[in-house]
């Protein structure tokens, strides 16, 4: 019985860890996508797809999966680059319309710099 257990336990553990990696990869892909980490989400999505291809037994070899992963991770890199550029490049706003007014003659209106006037009173006392 011990010989059978020593043979079956590593096989069961291999499939258990493969199942756990599949579930964790998909959960991490969703979590990183919601957090906005597009490159990490693409990497975990590629691992999850590879594990699903392995579980389903489809006729997808490693090179085909790797080329697909390059495309998916490239889309994640592009999304991250666009988010970065959107953050650092200021938005283009049109200049506000400035109405034309004729020039005035005489004294100009004083500039209001929103400072309170300061008065100081110096009183001399004579004794």
User: pLDDT tens digits for 110-120?
Assistant: 666 666 666 66
The reply to whether 98 falls in a domain is no
Q: Token pair for residue 30?
A: 């969703």
User: pLDDT tens digits for 64-91?
Assistant: 999 999 999 999 999 999 999 988 987 7
- Measured distance CA(74)–CA(108) in Å, rounded: 61
Quote the mean pLDDT of the chain: 85
The range of the structural domain enclosing residue 63 comes to 11-88
When divided into structural domains, the chain yields a total of 1
Taking residue 41's Cβ as centre, other Cβ atoms within 10 Å add up to 23
Q: Percentage of residues in the chain with pLDDT exceeding 70? A: 76
Banded model confidence at residue 127, pLDDT cuts 50, 70, 90: low
The reply to whether 58 falls in a domain is yes
Nearest to 41 by CA among 19, 55, 25: 25
The reply to whether 65 falls in a domain is yes
């Amino acid at each position: 019985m011990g010989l059978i257990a020593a043979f079956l336990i590593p096989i069961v553990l291999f499939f258990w860890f493969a199942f756990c990696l599949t579930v964790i990869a998909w959960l991490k892909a969703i979590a990183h996508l919601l957090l906005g980490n597009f490159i990490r989400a693409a990497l975990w999505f590629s691992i999850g797809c590879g594990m699903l291809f392995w579980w389903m037994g489809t006729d997808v070899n490693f090179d085909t999966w790797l080329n697909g992963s390059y495309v998916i991770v490239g889309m994640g890199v592009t999304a991250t680059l666009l988010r970065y550029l959107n953050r650092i490049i200021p938005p283009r706003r049109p200049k506000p319309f400035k109405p034309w007014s004729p020039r005035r003659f005489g004294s100009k209106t004083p500039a209001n710099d929103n400072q309170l006037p300061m008065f100081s009173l110096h009183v001399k006392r004579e004794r």
